[in-house]
Chains A and B, each alone.
Chain A
Amino acid sequence: EADIYQTPRYLVIGTGKKITLECSQTMGHDKMYWYQQDPGMELHLIHYSYGVNSTEKGDLSSESTVSRIRTEHFPLTLESARPSHTSQYLCASSPSGLAGARGGTDTQYFGPGTRLTVL
């Protein structure tokens, strides 16, 4: 069982609101990721981080931003939410090095996700 947490699990907000989706992991993993997933579709990487003070954009363009001030914490922020942002957001983490605690270097452990609905 992965020790990675996301809050809130569900969020319904109005257009124009600023929101922050929280993600925390207690496994000491250096790498963390944010994915966006629409129903019946594949996961798309929107942000990732190699470690503290490191953030990169992923394959899918996103208006969200992320920060990595602490190893265990990787929050995602939307400054002004729009209906097009409605989706499921999944956070993941993975260990660095050749052998992680439970797998290879790219074993990713996922949080339960945040289902965001923007009205």
Chain B
Amino acid sequence: KNQVEQSPQSLIILEGKNCTLQCNYTVSPFSNLRWYKQDTGRGPVSLTIMTFSENTKSNGRYTATLDADTKQSSLHITASQLSDSASYICVVSDRGSTLGRLYFGRGTQLTVWP
């Protein structure tokens, strides 16, 4: 069964600190993996996308890694800011259909305290 599991479920850190969010997936055949940021009451916004051949991708203070062999990804946030408080969702796409089916994790709820 194609699944996406994220950990931790929630995380509280102090402003300026770094943190790492984890994503494990069983989606096959694999196409790509994205990290989305979803602010409360808003729709998700794409942060990074990685294909099978990529193992790291950065977007400002966000750095995503991908290990396609172990089917694991991480999102590292550097020097956190209050505006980083949001849910971070791992989304994996398969190659099995023209729809490009997406499998969503439940997200990690990150809270940054001043």
- Inter-subunit contact B102/A106 (CB<8 Å): yes
In the complex, whether B100 has a CB less than 8 A from a CB of chain A is yes
Q: Out of B4, B41, B102, which one reaches A108, CB within 8 Å?
A: B102
List of B residues within 8 angstroms of A2 by Cβ: 43, 45
* Assembly CA distance A62 to B60 (angstroms): 39
Residue of B at shortest CB range from A91?
B43
- Closest B residue to A88 by CB, please name it: B41
Contact of A105 among B42, B45, B100, B105 (CB under 8 A): B100
**Which one of B4, B31, B45 contacts A106 once the chains associate, using CB atoms below 8 Å?**
B31
Question: Given A40-B109, A42-B105, A42-B106, does the pair A106, B100 have CB atoms closer than 8 Å?
Answer: yes
Known contacts A41-B106, A104-B49, A106-B31; A112/B42 CB under 8 A: yes
- Nearest B residue to A103 by beta-carbon distance? B49
Q: Annotate B34-60 by CB proximity to A: 1 below 8 A, 0 otherwise.
A: 000000011111100100000000000
Nearest chain A CB to B3's CB is how many angstroms away?
10
Chain A hits for B105, CB < 8 A: 42
Question: Which residues does A use to contact B, with CB under 8 Å?
Answer: 2, 4, 31, 40-45, 48, 90-92, 94, 103-113, 115
Query: Contact mask B16-37 → A, CB, 8 Å, 1/0?
Result: 0000000000000001100000
- Residues in B with CB closer than 8 Å to A105 are 100
Q: Mark B95-111, 1 if CB is under 8 A from A, else 0.
A: 00001101011110100
A103 touches B46 (CB 8 A): yes
For the complex, what is the distance from the CA of A110 to the CA of B100, rounded to whole Å?
16
User: Pick the contact of A113 from B4, B43, B93 — CB < 8 Å?
Assistant: B43
Please indicate the chain B residues that have their CB under 8 angstroms from the CB of A41 in the complex.
Answer: 106
Least CB distance, A4 to chain B, in whole angstroms: 8
Asked whether, in the complex, the Cβ of B102 is within 8 Å of the Cβ of A107, the reply is no
